[in-house]
Amino acid sequence: MLQLISFTAITYLAISHSDIVRVTGFLVPSCSSSSDITRDKIGREAASSSSALFQTTKIYGRHEGSDEELFISLANEKNRRDAAPVDPDEGCGVKTPTSTLKPEGVVPLIMNALKNNDTPHKDAGMMLVWEFTTDTTKYIFKNNITEFIESCHETADEFPTSFYGVAMYGQSWDVESGINRVGGEDGWIATQVMKTISSDGRLRRWQWEIRKNKRPPCLGCWKVESIGSSDRNGDFEARDRGDGWSD
């Protein structure tokens, strides 16, 4: 079962003398000093009232236009940053789902992140996974990313052929099929099959179900609904096992 976090875009408006300070971005786990926030002129009050940092910050001068123009400019800035390459030194290096990421890019992104889970900081890979999970997983963990990360580590350490076991410690993984969109090119559900070899040499196949967000936040983003495991032979359906079969 996969799990991630969808960080809602947050906009803060703070008055500092004659300037309007506009900050837009995604909430990310704290990894920078409070001086970074102060340096962006958010102010002591805003810095002390929020434990989150921001991937995107921009200071504008006095705003002379309408509120509509203000929020259009914020949305344009966010879209520009979403489309840009991820800087490991910015926003803790955690990439968030965007509508520009195609479903074909989800599996490699997550698998590479988990293989390098502690880069650029501890549990960065699992934080990315949390980002890319749908609300189903978040509901199971009651929106508690700390419990999610603890569960992932326990599973990976105890079961080499579990998803997190093979993703973090396995010998290899390969995407075996292209993206299959249910309902054609306009479909909002997609599946993809991946093969893994665990640290102790056992084979598993995994069927990913990826869904396109049909409402805000993150409208149009592809996120992981579930990851189904095969049996030890790589089959997704039981065949000729009989009673008492075990893997």
The predicted-structure confidence for 51-87, as pLDDT tens digits, reads as follows 333 332 333 344 456 777 776 777 776 666 555 544 4
Q: Which three-class secondary structure state does DSSP give residue 83?
A: helix
Q: In the chain, pLDDT over 90 holds for what percent of residues?
A: 55
CA distance 114 to 173: 12
Confidence bin at 16 (pLDDT 50/70/90):
very low
DSSP per-residue letters across 137-191: HHHHTTT-HHHHHHHHHHHHHH-TTSHHHHHHH-SEEEE-S--EEETSTT-SEEE
Integer angstrom CA distances of residue 223 from 8, 111, 174, 178, 227: 14, 14, 20, 17, 11
**Contacts of residue 99, Cβ cutoff 8 Å, sequence gap at least 6:** 82, 218, 219, 220, 221
The amino acid occupying position 97 is P
pLDDT score for 64? 57
pLDDT the model gives residue 124: 96
Crossing angle for the helix pair 124-131 and 145-158, nearest 10 degrees? Answer: 120
Which is higher by pLDDT, 10 or 139?
139
For residue 15, pLDDT over 90 is answered with no
pLDDT number for residue 22: 34
Quick one: pLDDT at residue 46?
Answer: 37
Is 90 exceeded by the pLDDT of residue 204?
yes
Tell me phi and psi for residue 130, to 5 degrees.
-60, -40
Average pLDDT score, the chain: 74
pLDDT at 79: 66
Identify which has the larger pLDDT, 165 or 38. Answer: 165
Quick one: average pLDDT of 29-50?
A: 37
Q: pTM score, two decimals? A: 0.61
Q: Are 128 and 95 in contact (CB under 8 A)?
A: yes
Mean pLDDT of 137-163: 97
* Gap between the Cα atoms of 21 and 78, Å rounded: 15
Amino acid, res. 100? T
The count of other CB atoms within 10 Å of the CB of residue 227 is 18
Q: In the Cβ-directed half-sphere of 124, how many Cα atoms lie within 13 Å? A: 20
Where is mean pLDDT largest: 3-7, 48-52, 215-219?
215-219
